[in-house]
Amino acid sequence: MARLLLLSNGHGEDLSGSLLGQALKAQGHDVEALPLVGRGNPYFEATIPLIGRTREFSTGGLGYTTFRGRLTELIQGQVIYLLRRLLRLMRIAGRYDLVVVIGDVIPVMAAWLCNRPVATYLVAYSSHYEGKLRLPWPCGNCLKSQRFKAVFSRDALTALDLSEQLKREVVFVGNPFMDSVLSPSNRLPYAKRRLGLLPGSRRPELEHNLVLLLGVIDQIPISQHSPGDLEIDLALVGALGDDHLNNIAHSHGWSLVLGQDSSPARLEKGGRQIQVRRQAFTSVLLGSDLLLCMAGTAAEQAVGMAKPVLQLPGQGPQFTVGFAEAQRRLLGPTVFCAAAPCEGEELLRATAKLAIELLERSVNDPELRRNCREQAMQRLGPQGGGKKMAGLISGLVQKR
Mean pLDDT by groups of 10 residues along the chain of 400 residues: 94 93 96 92 95 70 47 58 92 96 95 96 95 95 96 97 97 94 74 92 89 96 68 90 93 91 88 92 95 95 97 88 94 92 87 96 95 96 93 88
Q: What is the pLDDT of residue 228?
A: 62
- CATH of span 193-379: 3.40.50.2000
Nearest by Cα to 36 from 95, 98, 89: 89
Nearest by Cα to 267 from 290, 291, 248: 248
308-337 exposure pattern, b = at least 16 Cβ within 10 A, e = fewer: bbbbbbbebbbbbbebbeebbebbbebbbb
- Range(s) within the chain of domains with CATH label 3.40.50.2000: 3-179+383-399, 193-379
Element (H, E) at 282: helix 281-287
DSSP string, 287-339: H-SEEEE--SHHHHHHHHTT--EEE---S-SSS-HHHHHHHHHHH-TTEEEPP
Nearest by Cα to 368 from 322, 332, 319, 326: 332
The amino acid that residue 256 corresponds to is L
CA distance 196 to 55: 31
CA distance 233 to 236: 9
CATH 3.30.450.20 fits 3-179+383-399, yes or no: no
- What does the CA dihedral 187, 192, 195, 196 come to, rounded to 10 degrees? 0
pTM above the 0.85 mark?
Answer: yes
Q: What is the pLDDT of residue 74?
A: 47
DSSP string, 342-357: --HHHHHHHHHHHHHH
5: β partners: 32, 99
Element (H, E) at 144: helix 139-144
Nearest by Cα to 312 from 210, 201, 204, 194: 210
Q: Is the peptide bond before 176 cis (omega within 30 degrees of 0)?
A: no
99: β partners: 5, 118
Q: How many CB atoms lie within 10 A of CB 353?
A: 15
Q: What is the pLDDT of residue 376?
A: 96
Q: What is the pLDDT of residue 70?
A: 47
